[in-house]
Amino acid sequence: MTKPNQRPAGTVRREIGSLAADVRKMASLRWELARLELQSAIGSIKRLAIAAIAAGLMVLCAMPILAVGLAEGLGGRLGISRLGWLLIFGFTLLIGGIAGGTIAWRYFRRRFTGFEQSLEELREDLVWLEEYVEKSDES
């Protein structure tokens, strides 16, 4: 005969088996969530890299134009209109590159979440497991 606070061995085995199945399923789902978040993070990083490369190329293209504009201005051989256009185009590319890179960086920082959901789910799972263990100990 079993004592009132003790469970039969079969019940304990079934509960342990059920808990093990739940933990396996939970781990499988958490792994899938982490994998999906990693894919999303890689996509965000790729978009940032492409935008950064484009912004860098615009800045690099602007530098020789600005140098030519400055040289033409200091030499005094060209009229204002040509120098003006060289400077306008050079500064437009430079400002466009800097603005594009800044916007891409801010967009990346705002959208990049890393593994926030996975970590939150793991915290919730730990709380659930602690409650389950405490509940099992009381029974």
Structure tokens at 16: 């342990």
19 occurs within a structural domain:
no
How many domains does the structure of the chain reveal? 1
Q: What angle do CA 42, 48, 52 make, to 5 degrees?
A: 145
In a domain, residue 39? The reply is yes
Spell out the residues 6+ positions from residue 86 whose beta carbon is closer than 8 angstroms to its own.
Answer: 65, 68, 69, 72
43 located within any domain: yes
Residue 127 lies in a domain: no
Q: Is residue 130 part of a domain?
A: no
Regions of the chain with pLDDT less than 50: 1
The pLDDT, as a whole number, for residue 7 is: 58
Domain assignment present for residue 11? The answer is no
Residue 85 lies in a domain: yes
Q: Measure the CA–CA gap between 120 and 65, rounded to whole angstroms.
A: 51
Residue 122: the pLDDT is: 81
**pLDDT given at position 28:** 87
Domain that holds residue 103: 31-113
Is residue 9 in a domain? no
